[in-house]
Structure 1
Amino acid sequence: MVGTAEPRRTTGRGQVLAALALAQFICSFAGSNMNVMINDISEDLDTSVQGVQVAITVFLLVMAAFMIPGGKLTDRFGRKRCFLTGLVVYAIGALLSAVAPGLGVLILGNSILEGIGTALLIPPVYILATLLYPEVTSRARAFGVIMALGGIGAAAGPLIGGLITTGISWRAAFVFQALVIAVIVVLSLRMDDPLPADPTRTFDVFGAVLSAAGLILVVMGILAADDNVWLMIALLLLGAAVLLWFFQTVRAKEAAGKEPLLSLSLFANRTSNLGLITQNVQWLMLMGTSFTVAAYLQVVRHYDAIETGVVFTAATLGLLLTSLAAERLAERYSQRTLIMTGFAACMVGVVALITLVAAYSTAWAFVPGLLLIGLGLGVMLTPSVNVVQSSFPEERQGEISGLSRSVSNLGSSFGTAIAGTILVSGLTKGAYAAAMITLAALSLIGLTAAARLPARIEAR
């Protein structure tokens, strides 16, 4: 145990933390800013709301599908090299999206290249933060900054994207992403890798293909729900079969003494498993709410991009307030208490979003609910990450970081896919309420998992 150890020294640690936090910001921003561009993109590229939803969901899905391989590659090539490579791939995707002549090129640039770039650069963010800050409260401070920027990117994405879209063009939002990436590269020049790369480490290519294919099939099955129930069932069953095949290959490799893509022993840690569930549901709630409210405001109430973005300021403010207080909260309350409180606040926020929006036509009706959801997410995002990362020693940070980020981004994909599927089946007040009720019901899973966490958790 190193629960009382001092944070280890590294050159320009504050600058490195800034780079890591900005990286999480821009990746989260990319997942939510398109929500306010639904009308603009669909008109400019001659597509539909569902077409834009597919682009958003595929981006989140590619991140989830390739996050585990991305985490594994950090052991072989080093965290800094993977981080910088991911930044370059992401920037190319952003610039390609900015000049996209149609939906297909937009999906290639935004959904595929930005998704792959994110999968390469995000695992190093959490590995480096874990290695540089080994003590629980100092690690909570680092994760608090990273998650605050990540949460702000997701919550403020609609506002920033709305301002850029209204003031210039939706295409300029992708140029903005490329510019932020350039800043991150400059900040990363003094980054030191606390652990040396190990070129001798093997990489399970077949396992990476199977895991990615299985996750893609499952989410595509959810997306198919509003078009063809039988296709949905077929895709879900096929996805489950491929994932089962993946775990069988992992078991066989471990039995043969070989290194698989993902060790099954990662799932032997009960505390980490519960933390992963809370992470998945948190991002499901965040991205599902963001897509539901943004689509409803634009398609039903005919708000423009900037008006939609302004409404989301309430969630951004709430998330910022509680995320930046992560270190102080970690000193006063247990991780379990914080996560449970966060889920409770989010569920109350959903109730407020349903009841007040039904009763009043003003935009102010969205503020209390979004503020509560923002406060709740800010309270629990950091401790959930802390719980998972702190459950494993240094040598396993590559594996658990990839798994953790994959689970979180899979939650984002599920949130957008589930809420979007309900909405596009009929964008009415009833569909809006049904989507929000579904998200609240799924939050009960996260609350139950949080209640089963141990009262005291220490870093390894």
Structure 2
Amino acid sequence: MRRNPWSTLAVLALAQFMVVLDVTIVNVALPDLQNDLGFSADDLQWVVSAYTLVFGGFLLLGGRAADLLGRRRLFLAGLTVFGLASLAGGLADSQGLLIAFRAVQGLGGAMMSPAALSILTVTFAPGRERNIALGIWGGLAGLGGTLGVVAGGFLVDGASWRWVFFVNVPVAVALLAVTPLFVGESRAGSTDGPRTFDALGALLATTGVLALIYGVIRAEPLGWSDPEVIGSLVAAVVLLAGFVAAEARSAAPLVPLRMFRSRSLSVSTVQLGLNGAAFLSMFFLAAIFLQQVRGESAVATGVQFLPMGLAAILGAASASSLVTRIGTRPVHLIGSVLGVAGLLLLTTAGATGGYATELLPGFALFGFGIMWVGVPGQISAVSEVSHDDAGAASGLVSAGYQVGGVLGLAVVNTLSTSLANSRLAEGASVQAALVDAFHRGMLVAAGFAVVNAGLAFAARQRVPDAQELTEAVPV
């Protein structure tokens, strides 16, 4: 049966739209979710982090499994896991169950996304059609993130926080029904290398990062010298060292260690991780600040985030155009400076000030700036690796972005919560303590962006052509 490639693209893009939307739609539901299930300020971040960590930790394994087991087969399996986890998350009646189902959602996304991108790549030949397809793919992914905050607001205010999970179920069912009709099966041939995948490497990497994040989070209530914190951090070092050793011995490693000989790839992975740390931290704290401090409804919160999403779309388009003229380093540096400026502007926001003067400029500058960091980072990541390693390199920087976001959120939320608790102990009002905590969080996130600006000088200057732009897969 001959399938229309554009119908295939429509199915795949809708699935990616759903996965990206789920990253942002939950944020506006956080205050309602916290009140209903009794989350503490420390534990609430796991609603976001559980999804992001598992998604980032298993992206590489998902891509390799799709090549070996069948791309459509893994896409359908991931879609099923994602849909069932969404249904279960909406029905969850405890903190532990919700966090567990969010992690399963992340696993489903890590199976779906690389499989879908692989199908898209083999469906469209290199050249104009693939460029258009990738543009639509990336555009809809960006739109999903932008619309997620507004859709989440309407669902929370109109029904309850549970519907930010339930909304995925009919979409997943529809996609499961139409995928066999419009998407063909494909897999890597026997000439593509050893037909094995590195489950041990994925397990060691994910559990190692999880132990590191847990140690950072527990350091705030327990102290850095507590045996639980020390044990978690030591376990993280051992597990991550084990990951490096496993990759060195594996016949088909998730991350071939030879790739780290590329300075551009190494710098880009850190660069995009810091970008993720600044974004996820700002987004998490701002959603709580708008609702719990400024008293905005979930819908109003989503609408107030819209300019940031629109600025990000404009930033991606302008960066893609400008980078071919002036190169990656200037765009990276300017984007970092804009991100710092936006975050510093947000530190002036109070509980009662005007949105147009205290929040809008910071949101818009930050949204525009993060894409001016992201686009050159994606291009540089694959600029010095062979075509055989291009997929692994793209997966590595995508995972770096997700894991960097989780680590950054852990650090920022720990420092913000610590300040809030200290201010409350001094007798400050809850509102004043939360304002101070938000300001500290924005300052720490701005610190991530400052480090990113410094990395611009460590990164190599690249002036990419159209082909390199095509190979730079959005994270």
CA distance in 2, matches of 1:336, 1:142: 27
Q: How far apart are 1:189 and its partner, in Å?
A: 4.4
Name the structure 2 match of 1:7: none
TM-score by length of 1: 0.86
What aligned pairs does 1:150-169 form with structure 2 within 5 A after superposition? Answer: 150-169=141-160
Change (3 A) 1:121 1:404: farther
Q: Is the 8 A contact 1:338 1:383 kept in 2?
A: yes
Q: Where does the alignment leave 5 or more consecutive residues of structure 2 unmatched?
A: 421-432
Name the structure 1 match of 2:426: none
Q: How far apart are 1:248 and its partner, in Å?
A: 1.6
Q: Is the 8 A contact 2:82 2:106 kept in 1?
A: yes
| 1:235 maps onto 2:232 in alignment | yes
CA distance in 2, matches of 1:19, 1:294: 31
SS in structure 1 at match of 2:93: coil
Name the structure 2 match of 1:455: 462
Q: Is the 8 A contact 1:162 1:309 kept in 2?
A: yes
Deviations 1:75-104 (A, max 9, x none): 312333322221111111111111112222
Q: Is the 8 A contact 2:314 2:368 kept in 1?
A: yes
Q: How far apart are 1:272 and its partner, in Å?
A: 1.9
RMSD: 2.9
Name the structure 1 match of 2:254: 261
Change (3 A) 1:399 1:370: same
| 1:102 maps onto 2:102 in alignment | no
4+ residue runs over 6 A deviation: 137-140
CA distance in 2, matches of 1:420, 1:104: 19
TM-score by length of 2: 0.83
Change (3 A) 1:69 1:217: same
Deviations 1:84-139 (A, max 9, x none): 22111111111111111222221222x2210101111222344456664756x987
| 1:249 maps onto 2:240 in alignment | no
Name the structure 2 match of 1:411: 404
| 1:435 maps onto 2:441 in alignment | yes
CA distance in 2, matches of 1:21, 1:381: 20
What aligned pairs does 1:18-167 form with structure 2 within 5 A after superposition? Answer: 18-109=10-101, 111-128=102-119, 132=124, 134=126, 143-167=134-158
CA distance in 2, matches of 1:53, 1:92: 22
Q: Is the 8 A contact 2:273 2:403 kept in 1?
A: yes
Q: Where does the alignment leave 5 or more consecutive residues of structure 1 unmatched?
A: 1-9
Name the structure 2 match of 1:175: 166
Q: How far apart are 1:398 and its partner, in Å?
A: 4.3
Q: Is the 8 A contact 1:42 1:51 kept in 2?
A: no
CA distance in 1, matches of 2:16, 2:382: 16
| 1:209 maps onto 2:203 in alignment | yes
Count of aligned pairs between the two proteins = 444
Q: Is the 8 A contact 1:143 1:385 kept in 2?
A: no
Name the structure 1 match of 2:296: 303
Deviations 1:122-167 (A, max 9, x none): 22344456664756x9877655544443344334432221111101
AA partner of residue 83 (structure 2): A
CA distance in 1, matches of 2:117, 2:258: 20
Q: Is the 8 A contact 1:318 1:375 kept in 2?
A: yes
* Stretch moving more, 220-229 or 43-52: 43-52
Of the three residues 279, 282, 285, the one matched with 1:286 is 279
Q: Is the 8 A contact 2:275 2:452 kept in 1?
A: yes
Q: Is the 8 A contact 1:92 1:113 kept in 2?
A: no
Q: How far apart are 1:446 and its partner, in Å?
A: 2.3
Q: Is the 8 A contact 1:72 1:398 kept in 2?
A: no
AA partner of residue 444 (structure 1): V
Change (3 A) 1:62 1:145: same
AA partner of residue 39 (structure 2): T
SS in structure 2 at match of 1:221: helix
AA partner of residue 105 (structure 2): E
Deviations 1:352-411 (A, max 9, x none): 1113x1496223321110011111223443443343345544533443343222111102
Change (3 A) 1:235 1:317: same
Q: How far apart are 1:308 and its partner, in Å?
A: 1.7
SS in structure 1 at match of 2:361: helix
